[in-house]
Amino acid sequence: MIVLIITISSIIIQSCCTEDFKIIGKGNIGAYYDYFNERNRTDTVDRAILIHWHLEYRVASLNDFGLIRSCYATRCAETFENELIESTLEISCDKDFEYNGNTIDHDSNFIGIDELELFFIKTYGSVEIVFTEDFLNKTNFDASDYVFTVKIHTTDEKEFIHSLKLHMDL
């Protein structure tokens, strides 16, 4: 009964401590159908996909952690010392492709295309870029391999870059 009361209290209280993280590396990137799950991973684009980029981070500090104040907390509040700057996100491709009748030149940033959906999962240092059906219906990719490169900056002025090779089969 005491354990149940402590658990319920900790859910309400959430935490009395903070855990600071720092993004330190480019991490992992992959393409997935429907949602981020290893069973949905793909290297061929034949329908809508999401590119999930999970940057590498580590614990930078644990603050306000004392036996009296945090004994009821099941976890600490999580913050990042260096947050992702959403406005710096870029995606480019190593080859030209057509979008809505216009040529998108290789190595140019096409993140501003309306049919792309963007999600920033700040608590996990992750970014998702969704190639929607609407986007893919307006594009013309050759049936070949393309390397997509994603870049982003953090508030401590670091730039992280990662690439992913996908076979376009639309």
The residues, any chain, with a CB within 8 Å of residue 26's CB and separated by 6 or more, are 55, 56, 160, 161, 162
Radius of gyration of the chain from its Cα atoms, rounded to whole angstroms: 20
Question: Domain 25-55+82-168: which topology?
Answer: Immunoglobulin-like (2.60.40)
Sign of the alpha-carbon torsion through 23, 28, 31, 32 = negative
Residue 49 pLDDT: 98
| pLDDT at residue 70, as a whole number | 47
For 152, other C-beta atoms within 10 Å of its C-beta total 23
Where the chain has pLDDT below 50, the residues are 12, 14-15, 67-71
Q: What pLDDT sits at residue 89?
A: 98
pLDDT at 98: 98
Return the DSSP state at 138: T
pTM: 0.82
Domain ranges of the chain: 25-55+82-168
